[in-house]
Amino acid sequence: MEFFISSEIKEAVPSFQLGIITYNDITVTNTPQWLQGRLQLSLEEWLLEKENVPTSEITGVQAWRKLFKLFGTDPSRYRPSHEALIRRLRKEKSLPSIHTAADVNNYFSITIEAPMGIYNLDRLHGDITLRIGKADDHYMGINGREMAMASKFLTADASGAFGSPIVDSKRSMVTEETRNALHVIYFNPDLHRETAEKILDQIGRSFIQFNGGEIRQSILL
């Protein structure tokens, strides 16, 4: 399995970069109360730091809104996933717990201010490409809605689109039965490569701390 960024994206945004992490032999479980408390405390600290910053003016939110507009997606109608999480956190003061994989994913998505996707690697086939969707790209989202992906960022394998910085598909969703996973971090293009590498390392180490397994990671330019 190889990973690619489409020429359409690279030509429009030369600095675009993806964080790619693959995990093998993981164990996904209900998130224990102590971990929920630890993540919640850190999120409360993040909220306090951003208390006087409107959501639309948060650096990572601004960056991805700009990218959506560049390719013809209205970010007010289709919000980047990290912006949706931030808005929910600000409104409800906490996020619902799903399981150890999703909870760690959502925590980092907020704190690094970037969309992230965690996918069941065993349900993906062939090479994976980040590209802009076409008229026939669609899938059932984990939110239960049919997603038409034309003119939107998406990740696709040999079977078609399965993920996006907006919402991911049911086909590729991670559950407690998942044993191998793929983490995609849709970095802010303005982020320095060295900083992106440090963040990627932190995400990977934290994930296997709570889910076990073996890890491989890289930055895709």
Task: Return per-residue pLDDT of the chain as tens, 221 residues.
Answer: 899 999 999 999 999 999 999 999 999 999 999 999 999 999 999 999 999 999 999 999 999 999 999 999 999 999 999 999 999 999 999 999 999 999 999 999 999 999 999 999 999 999 999 999 999 999 999 999 999 999 999 999 999 999 999 999 999 999 999 999 999 999 999 999 999 999 999 999 999 999 999 999 999 98
Predicted local distance difference test score (pLDDT) of residue 80: 97
Q: HSE-up of 190 (CA within 13 Å, CB side)?
A: 11
Residue 52's DSSP bridge partners are none
Residue 141's DSSP bridge partners are 169
Predicted local distance difference test score (pLDDT) of residue 125: 96
Predicted local distance difference test score (pLDDT) of residue 85: 97
- Cα 92 versus chain centre, distance: 21
With contact defined as beta carbons under 8 Å apart, do 69 and 75 qualify?
A: yes
End-to-end alpha-carbon separation of the chain, Å? 16
Predicted local distance difference test score (pLDDT) of residue 104: 98
Torsion sign across C-alpha atoms 193, 199, 205, 207: negative
Torsion sign across C-alpha atoms 196, 198, 204, 209: negative
Predicted local distance difference test score (pLDDT) of residue 65: 97
Predicted local distance difference test score (pLDDT) of residue 116: 97
Predicted local distance difference test score (pLDDT) of residue 14: 96
Predicted local distance difference test score (pLDDT) of residue 28: 98
117 CB-near residues (< 8 Å, 6+ apart):
81, 105, 155, 163, 164, 165, 168, 183, 184, 186
∠ at Cα 177 (32, 165), nearest 5°?
80
Q: What is the CATH number of domain 3-220?
A: 3.50.40.10
**DSSP code for 98:** -
Q: How far apart are CA 221 and CA 214, in angstroms?
A: 23
**DSSP 3-state of 216:** strand
Predicted local distance difference test score (pLDDT) of residue 95: 95
Predicted local distance difference test score (pLDDT) of residue 120: 98
